[in-house]
């Protein structure tokens, strides 16, 4: 499980499943949550992926709002067109569902 194309640079996240990837503008997306190999449940990290430099994906790990949301996987996410990503549902480590704003 490695990135081959585009070439990835920066804070490249570990391979994961059950995450969301939300496009906020042409060439820029945010990945949230999921679970990684060796994790004992879901994670609540967020990464920005910038692919505007053709052939290169630049990853940046970022903070998630004022209060970090609960770690979750198998959720959905959408961009409101202004400045907010809405995450809905999914499962936390105790299998509760919920919605949050990032």
How confident is the model over 43-72, as pLDDT tens digits? Answer: 999 999 999 988 789 999 998 767 777 889
For residue 39, the model assigns a pLDDT of 82
Domain count, the chain: 1
User: Which domain, by its residues, includes 11?
Assistant: 7-101
**Does residue 45 belong to any structural domain of this protein?**
yes
CA distance 19 to 60: 16
> Strand ranges (DSSP E) for 15-101?
16-17, 20-25, 28-32, 35-36, 46-50, 56-62, 76-79, 85-88, 99-101
**Does residue 88 belong to any structural domain of this protein?**
yes
**Does residue 1 belong to any structural domain of this protein?**
no
Q: Is the pLDDT of residue 5 over 80?
A: no
* Mean pLDDT of the 37-47 span: 89
**Does residue 2 belong to any structural domain of this protein?**
no
């Amino acid at each position: 499980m490695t990135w081959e194309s585009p070439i990835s640079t920066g804070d490249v996240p570990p391979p994961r499943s059950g995450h969301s990837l939300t496009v906020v503008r042409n060439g820029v997306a945010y990945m949230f949550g999921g679970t990684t190999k060796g994790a004992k449940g879901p994670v609540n990290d967020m990464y920005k992926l910038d692919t505007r430099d053709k052939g290169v994906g630049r990853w940046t790990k970022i903070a998630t709002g004022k209060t970090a949301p609960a770690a979750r996987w198998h959720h959905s996410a959408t961009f409101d067109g202004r400045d907010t990503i809405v995450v809905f549902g999914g499962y936390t480590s105790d299998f509760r569902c919920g919605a949050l704003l990032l």
